Amino acid sequence: MSDPAIPQLTRESVVAAHKLIEPYVHKTPVLTNTTISKLASIPRTPAELEGTEWAGRTPARPVMRLWFKCENFQRIGAFKARGAFHAIEKLKQTPGWLESGGKEKGVVTHSSGNHAQALSLAAQVNQIPAYIVMPSISPIPKVNATRGYGAKITFSGSTSVEREAVTASVIASTGAVLIPPYDHPDIICGQGTASLELQDQVSESLSSPNPPYTSLSSSQKERSLNAIITPCGGGGLLSGTALSCSGLPIKVFGSEPSYEGADDCTRAYNSHPTDAVRIETVKSLTIGDGLRTPVGKIPWSIIYERMLVSGMYSVTEDQIKSALKLVYERMKLVVEPSAVVPLAVCLYNEYFRAMVEKEAGEEGWDIGVIFSGGNIDLGKLGDLLNGA
């Protein structure tokens, strides 16, 4: 891959990535849902807050108009196709890679499923061998899809340390080039292209003769997004989104599951205002299986050290299940648990809701919510929804 020691990634870096991958990825739709936006804007009752860390607080009264970027309709069913295709295109441009037999040696990565599928597809399109290290607990549909794109799979333990150790052995035996799932500039810039599209799509919708959310005032119709919130696992999507919004009046927020410490970035981000330390290990079996990894070094440098992300928030497993059920019932969309974590924050995290109320006032905010993917094990869907 290209040298990760890039001094400064910018919005222009993401724009360039979008031009490079445009022939290979879908421009996914942006949907609205009046009912869900109303639910996000209704104060929670004191009874709902009882037994939570917000018990006794006055419920927040935010006004939110939510715009859903549906990356569940992306190739391989997730945003990860963007980063994978960008990484491959940049690799093809690397001096000496082709001449040294790089195409025959192939590429390798470790992933629980979505990046695995994405890299396998990008490699297949370019006729490059792909070697994928997957945790043995990866969802069966993601394993089958990865194998279906022609990749050779090696299984590992579930932690990032275990994945990386097996990946190193595959590299040693094949000479394949590592395409990391999130901790590389090429991946980050590719993932940020979803936000670029989202910004343009919302602006276009707001300026149309019949925009969604018809109660908007004329001054509001002239605006675009006020904020974007994404899931955060390794941080590639979140940091790429932050880059795409740098220099713009759009705030960016991250969201994570809190179960078994999967909220590593949230905990680190909120631990100290000036010199927080990245948490490097996570061992969680949250239902948001795409978010079980610790935030990467390069994403962290964008999220926290450059302060391009305005806040990090987490939600419980039950809140993720409730948001998942709401999307299935009201939007009729197939999304995975990881994808609805940002929506769960909008609906249930009182810190986030109070912040929106304070900063947005009565006019409220137009908030982009990135649905990161839709690769769910349908055999387990009933258990997830019945538990909501």
Annotated active-site positions, please?
80, 112
Q: Count of CB atoms within 10 A of residue 136's CB? A: 10
Q: Count of CB atoms within 10 A of residue 7's CB? A: 4
- The CA–CA distances, whole Å, from 222 to 39, 79, 102, 288 equal 25, 29, 50, 36
Residue type at position 370: I
CB crowding 348-364: b at 16 or more within 10 Å, else e: bbbbbbbbbbeebeeeb
Which backbone phi and psi does 371 adopt, to 5 degrees?
A: -80, 105
Residue type at position 106: G
Residue type at position 147: R
Q: Choose among 115, 121, 188: nearest CA to 150.
A: 121
Q: 29 and 73 in contact (C-beta within 8 Å)? A: yes
CB crowding 237-263: b at 16 or more within 10 Å, else e: bbbbbbbbbbeeebbbbbbbbbbebbb
Element (H, E) at 231: strand 227-231
Question: What is the spatial distance between Cα 188 and Cα 38, in angstroms, rounded to a whole number?
Answer: 33
Residue type at position 318: D
- The CA–CA distances, whole Å, from 109 to 163, 168, 271 equal 9, 10, 31
Q: Beta strand pairing status for 311-315 and 251-257?
A: parallel
Cα torsion for 60, 66, 72, 74, to the nearest 10°?
-140
Alpha helices, DSSP H, located in the chain? 11-21, 34-41, 46-49, 80-92, 102-105, 114-125, 140-148, 160-174, 185-191, 193-206, 218-221, 236-245, 264-269, 297-300, 317-330, 341-348, 350-360, 378-386
